[in-house]
């Protein structure tokens, strides 16, 4: 399992991805699921993956090698894409290409082709954009009304995002809320776990402002988890008890 969340705000973008992978409960490991592609001053792109690890790694590998354009024969890479829209189209093509290779074999094994990606960033001269790419290679774009996208085990961590994040949120407040969302998910699903990779990209900076891995035992994140638990307990204590008590 995996949980990744991307937030697209007025001040910039935050991406958070856990690193746990598991093939059954008895085969748990740590893999990086967040990739940053950077040409400082020209473009900064980020890609986070969820789903079958062998499939998502194949997609990332294909994007690194470059995809041949069937018509012109040129090799296309994210580093050279002319726009973010062309870049996300390229991610979609990579997904479809990997799917066409592996889906028949997966089906024979009774498995489904199950990957999804968050992909976003900024290219000089363009606005910052964030997309979610589905297993069919199609994609949607993040808007301002619900300024976040999630992939993987998304339900446990959604209530806090629904309530606390707005397009005008401060970039590091959004990072904090994203980490709370990750914490809620980790508490409820053992398939999501530390370390956590985070990236913060400030709008128009055209390079990552922060790329960091939160390891188990790190003070800030440990403190955040404790404070959030205490705050939740205090929050419900402040609400009056239900007034119902009469028998029907």
- Of residues 13, 9, 6, 3, the one with CA closest to residue 209: 13
Sheet holding 208-214, edge to edge: 148-152, 3-9, 12-18, 196-202, 208-214
Query: Per rule CB under 8 A, is residue 10 in the interface with a second copy?
Result: no
Question: How many Å separate Cα 237 from the centre of its chain?
Answer: 33
Query: Per rule CB under 8 A, is residue 208 in the interface with a second copy?
Result: yes
- Of residues 121, 124, 125, 102, the one with CA closest to residue 112: 102
Footprint of a second copy on residues 147-166 (CB under 8 A)?
155-156, 158-160, 162-164
Residue that the structure tokens 């995002």 belong to: 161
131 in Cβ contact with 120 (< 8 Å) = yes
Question: Cβ closer to a second copy: 31 or 220?
Answer: 220
Applying CB under 8 A, among 1, 53, 106, 211 the residue interacting with a second copy is 211
Applying CB under 8 A, among 31, 168, 188, 204 the residue interacting with a second copy is 188
Applying CB under 8 A, among 210, 215, 216, 222 the residue interacting with a second copy is 210
Query: Per rule CB under 8 A, is residue 8 in the interface with a second copy?
Result: no
Query: Closest separation between CB of residue 13 and a second copy, Å?
Result: 15
7, two tokens: 């937030």
Query: Per rule CB under 8 A, is residue 209 in the interface with a second copy?
Result: yes
- Of residues 212, 209, 214, the one with CA closest to residue 12: 209
Query: Per rule CB under 8 A, is residue 32 in the interface with a second copy?
Result: no
151 in Cβ contact with 108 (< 8 Å) = no
Interface residues with a second copy (CB under 8 A) are: 155-156, 158-160, 162-164, 170, 172-173, 175-177, 179-180, 184, 187-188, 198, 200, 208-212, 220, 223-224, 227-229, 231-248
């Amino acid at each position: 399992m995996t949980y990744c969340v991307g937030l697209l705000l007025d001040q910039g973008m935050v991406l958070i991805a856990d690193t746990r992978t598991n093939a059954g409960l008895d085969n748990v490991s740590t893999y990086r699921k967040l990739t940053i592609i950077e040409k400082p001053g020209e473009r900064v792109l980020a890609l986070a993956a969820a789903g079958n690890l062998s499939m998502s790694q194949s997609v990332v590998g294909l994007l690194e090698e470059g995809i041949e354009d069937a018509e012109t024969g040129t090799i296309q890479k994210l580093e050279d894409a002319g726009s973010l829209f062309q870049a996300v189209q390229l991610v979609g093509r990579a997904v479809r290409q990997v799917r066409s290779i592996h889906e028949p074999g997966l089906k024979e094994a009774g498995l489904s082709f199950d990957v999804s990606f968050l992909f976003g960033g900024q290219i000089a001269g363009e606005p910052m954009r964030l997309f979610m790419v589905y297993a069919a290679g199609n994609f949607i774009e993040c808007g301002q009304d619900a300024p976040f996208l999630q992939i993987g085990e998304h339900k446990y961590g959604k209530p806090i995002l629904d309530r606390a994040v707005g397009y005008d949120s401060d970039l590091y407040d959004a990072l904090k809320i994203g980490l709370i969302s990750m914490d809620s998910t980790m508490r409820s699903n053992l398939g999501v776990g530390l370390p956590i990779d985070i990236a913060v990209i400030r709008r128009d900076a055209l390079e990552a402002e922060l790329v960091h891995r939160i390891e188990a035992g790190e003070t800030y994140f440990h403190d955040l988890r404790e404070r959030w638990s205490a705050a939740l307990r205090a929050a419900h204590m402040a609400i009056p008890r239900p007034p119902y008590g009469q028998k029907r």
